Amino acid sequence: MDGWTNPQGASVYNFLITTSNHKEFLFALRDLSDVSHTAELLFDKIEDVLLRIGPEKFAGVVSDNTSAIAAARRKINEKYPSILNIRCVLHCINLISQDILSKLILYYLNFYYKI
């Protein structure tokens, strides 16, 4: 599960499913612009996907680590203990890379342009 805001300002969430033989499927795109992204709402959206396919077919739920989605993943794991609660490592690497690059750019601008 991942969410983003498109150029028109709509808050879109996708639900991707990866099978045991590594095939990926876009299960759903949901426009959640008109609702508050609470842990309860996100839990309901994730559980809806689980129930439509069958919770026993899932090994884990992967997402970024914003507070609401992290809480929703924890609730899924509490209700379905066999489904792992997994933080997206690539999201963490992306955040770290952005932080490092922003500091390098500021250093470069300050060093060469005395900003």
Total of domains in the chain: 1
Report field, pTM of the whole predicted structure over 0.85: no
The pLDDT value recorded for residue 52 is 95
**Residue 52: its H or E element:** helix 39-53
Supply the CATH number for residue 7's domain: 3.30.420
**How would you classify residue 2: left for phi > 0, otherwise alpha for psi between -120 and 50, otherwise beta?**
beta
The pLDDT value recorded for residue 4 is 84
2 — pLDDT class (breaks 50, 70, 90): confident
- For residue 74, give the amino acid letter: R
The pLDDT value recorded for residue 91 is 65
Q: Domain range spanning residue 33?
A: 2-113
